[in-house]
Amino acid sequence: MAAKKITGRSKLSKKVDPKAETSENLDLVTPRKQPTLKAYRLYDDDIARLKKVTATMNKSSHRHISETAAIRALIVLGTSVTGEKLLKALRETI
């Protein structure tokens, strides 16, 4: 019986990885943005105001609203307010 030539290739090296073969991209769900953690220091007066705003929002809403959600809503409101009004409110807090 004639001996086979050794070529250095095996049948296993020719096999393709099944994960690499399927490069199908399914965009069924859009990825959510990851929140960036940011810490702010608030005075006691500011915390009391925030709790009052949150309590007012919870009275009007059918579900619980957190203080973080209230801050996010206030930021959105702040984008539609003029700079003069924001500076006036800032002067009142000082």
- Which regions in the chain score pLDDT beneath 50? none
Work out the burial of residue 71: count CB atoms within 10 Å of its CB; fewer than 13 is exposed, 13-18 middle, 19 or more buried.
middle
AA letter at 74: L
- What pLDDT does residue 29 have? 79
Quote the pLDDT of residue 18.
Answer: 59
Residue 5: the pLDDT is 73
Q: How far from chain centre, in Å, is Cα 71? A: 15
